[in-house]
Amino acid sequence: MQFSLVNGNKSAPFLKGVGLCPACGNKTIAKCGSVKVWHWAHANQESCDPWWENETPWHRAWKAHWSIEYQEIVHTSKESNERHIADVRNSVGLVLEFQNSPMNDQELASREAFYGNMVWVINGSSFQKNIKICAKLPSPENQISKDMRICAPQLNSKEFLYWLVSENEPGATMVEMHGSHRIQSFVDETHTGHHLFMWKHPREIWFRSQVPVYFDFGGETLWQLVKFNAGPTFCLRVSSKAEFIVKNGGQVRAS
């Protein structure tokens, strides 16, 4: 944790610091070494929050966009009294979880149910090399796009294949396919950041999330994992990290 209560104040770790865990109230000790980022650890136990992961500079850099009052917020379930510490909970109650490590389905489902109104930001640096961004797609919000069903991407293709719901009988086993070259200007004009992608050894857990999932591959952009429309095909929508931060109540500081 980056914060413990020292004389009732939310405090960052300092040399020889002693505090109280804001979640369980037990004693915490400041760890100010040179290997891990400075943090607070429970004096007599592992973290009281099994969902808490060891923090890296990546976590800290993300959380620092929100003021301290919104970081590491203890969230208590009204039903079960269970407590966990959210990385960020902003002024309108949206929880942002910055996640480095993989997790199983059970943990994913529990965490999403516990916080409800939340988004995931996933550190994608370890699997970025397995992801290839493919053809550009039109805006799924467009009326024409709503009629389109996009097929899985073709390797090394700037084009994609699609079929139209309106051109085919419901439940048809064969459909008429089209190449995107014939609608390229429509794609270019309506594009709002969506791309097909291929993922070798995918972390499939993220396809099963019920809340917004964003991948951080470094740099100034963020890639949201979304379904293109009512069809089954997932795509990645690129947007600006700064925009995401500001939209969610954080601040982008000049570095």
Binding site for Zn ion (CB under 5 A): 21, 23-24, 48
Distances (CA, A) of 220 to 89, 134, 183, 192, 216: 22, 19, 30, 17, 9
Taking the complex as a whole, the smallest distance from the CB of residue 209 to Zn ion amounts, in Å, to 27
Burial (CB count within 10 angstroms: exposed 0-12, middle 13-18, buried 19+), residue 74: middle
Taking the complex as a whole, the smallest distance from the CB of residue 19 to Zn ion amounts, in Å, to 11
Q: Which is nearer to Zn ion, 12 or 24 (CB)?
A: 24
Q: Which helix (H) or strand (E) holds 180?
A: none
Taking the complex as a whole, the smallest distance from the CB of residue 126 to Zn ion amounts, in Å, to 28
Taking the complex as a whole, the smallest distance from the CB of residue 254 to Zn ion amounts, in Å, to 35
Q: Which is nearer to Zn ion, 37 or 48 (CB)?
A: 48
Q: Which is nearer to Zn ion, 46 or 204 (CB)?
A: 46
Taking the complex as a whole, the smallest distance from the CB of residue 1 to Zn ion amounts, in Å, to 8
Q: Which is nearer to Zn ion, 27 or 203 (CB)?
A: 27
Residue of 17, 98, 18 whose CA lies nearest to 54: 98
| CA 116/CA 10 separation, integer angstroms | 25
| CA 123/CA 177 separation, integer angstroms | 36
Amino acid sitting at position 244: F
Q: Which is nearer to Zn ion, 73 or 119 (CB)?
A: 73
Contact 154, 160 (CB under 8 A): yes
Q: Which is nearer to Zn ion, 71 or 145 (CB)?
A: 71
DSSP secondary structure code for residue 145 in this structure: H
Q: Which is nearer to Zn ion, 82 or 188 (CB)?
A: 82
| CA 5/CA 12 separation, integer angstroms | 9
Taking the complex as a whole, the smallest distance from the CB of residue 101 to Zn ion amounts, in Å, to 20
Would the CA dihedral through 52, 54, 55, 56 be positive or negative? negative
Which residue's structure tokens are 């709503």? 146
Taking the complex as a whole, the smallest distance from the CB of residue 49 to Zn ion amounts, in Å, to 7
